[in-house]
Amino acid sequence: MSSPLVTVLDYGFGNVRSAVRALEHVGARVVLTDDRVIAENSDGLVVPGVGAFEAVMQGLKQVRGDQIVGRRLAGGRPVLGICVGHQVMFERGVEHGVEAEGLDQWPGVVERLRSPVVPNMGWAPVEVPQGSALFAGIEDERFYFVHSYAAREFPLGTTEDTGRFAAPLVTWSEAGRQGESDRFVAAVENGALMATQFHPEKSGEAGLQLLRNWIATLG
């Protein structure tokens, strides 16, 4: 059986080379492109992202990334968002007083962390829900974060089935020191759509294992 083909969406934002190398290291065939046909039809799509929420959204729209993500998810085809690529899956983001629309796959707003130390930079543990596929075998590991904004709430129900579909699995983490920390969404697993606020490609062996776990879901 051949390795799955993963497209890393090239739209001008993101630590794309590191992501490509990490995915290749764990056994995927990887193409870095903004070609719509390839991106829509590969086994998996990775949406990286660094920088401001609004600028990332503009970059995505320039290569029709919003349509690519929407069409893939409509067909149940896997998508993995990383860092700001995770953030834009939410309804909207607010940075420096500027509000921008996201891809609206999940309700909620990305806003500045309420922590005495911003940006939140470095290695941190995460709170993993039962049944996680992404974090299987690495539930107690630390992952590398570098961000000043995050989704601090996840309004979509996470404890009960939502109609015909299982509720999303939400992983949490905290920014700041004990007693002055701010809780935020570190990762979401929602059917074909998964995303991490941290950088798996910068998170050592734990991050590589998370990517292996994601690739194993591609089928």
* CA–CA dist 65, 12 (Å, integer): 12
Give, in words, the CATH class of 5-216.
alpha beta
164: number of CA atoms within 13 Å, CB side?
0
The three-state secondary structure class of 211 is helix
pLDDT tens for each residue of 26-77: 999 999 999 999 999 999 999 999 989 999 999 999 999 999 999 999 999 9
> For the whole model, what pTM was predicted?
0.94
199 noted as active-site residue: yes
Q: Is it the case that residue 162 has pLDDT exceeding 60? A: no
Of 95, 111, 141, 199, the active-site residue reads 199
The three-state secondary structure class of 214 is helix
83 noted as active-site residue: yes
Q: Is it the case that residue 161 has pLDDT exceeding 50? A: no
180 noted as active-site residue: no
Of 95, 174, 189, 201, the active-site residue reads 201
